[in-house]
């Protein structure tokens, strides 16, 4: 009778050990899956941050406001494209003024 009891307890112990190993394996798989999910989430968050930073930088570049000399002693607030246009106009204006002065000098002579 004691031998049967020992055999039954050994079998229970064996089943319990197998169950413990199965649970440990499941826990490990679950932890690994959870870690992968967190990594994927972090990767997506970082991609979104990079995209947002890029958009912000582009918006900042496009909306750069600068002070441009008006040519009449004042300053004009302008964006980059307007600054280029105003610079071109200022150079053209300067050239025309030089030509006008040269013509006036020629008339005096």
Residues 15 and 32 in one domain: yes
Query: Alpha helix (H) ranges present in the chain?
Result: 2-62, 80-108
pTM of the entire structure? Answer: 0.45
Residues of the domain holding 83: 64-109
Of the two residues 92 and 54, the one the predictor is more confident about is 54
pLDDT value of position 105? 86
Residues 58 and 84 in one domain: no
What CA–CA distance (Å, rounded) separates 97 from 78? Answer: 24
What CA–CA distance (Å, rounded) separates 1 from 11? Answer: 16
Of the two residues 3 and 68, the one the predictor is more confident about is 3
pLDDT value of position 17? 97
Q: How confident is the model at residue 37 (pLDDT cuts 50, 70, 90)?
A: very high
Q: How confident is the model at residue 88 (pLDDT cuts 50, 70, 90)?
A: confident
Record the tokens describing residue 94, joined without a space: 């300067």
Going 76 to 82 to 86 to 87, the CA torsion angle's sign is positive
Residues 46 and 2 in one domain: yes
**Domain closes at, from 42, 63, 84:** 63
Q: Looking at residues 38-49, what average pLDDT do you find?
A: 91
């Amino acid at each position: 009778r004691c031998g049967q009891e020992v055999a039954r307890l050994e079998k229970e112990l064996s089943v319990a050990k197998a169950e413990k190993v199965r649970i440990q394996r499941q826990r490990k798989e679950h932890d690994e899956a959870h870690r992968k999910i967190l990594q994927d989430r972090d990767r997506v968050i970082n991609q979104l941050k990079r995209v947002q930073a890029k958009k912000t930088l582009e918006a900042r570049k496009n909306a750069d406001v600068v002070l441009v000399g008006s040519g009449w002693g004042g300053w004009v607030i302008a964006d980059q494209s307007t600054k280029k246009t105003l610079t071109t106009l200022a150079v053209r204006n300067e050239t025309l003024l030089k030509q006008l002065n040269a013509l006036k000098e020629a008339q005096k002579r």
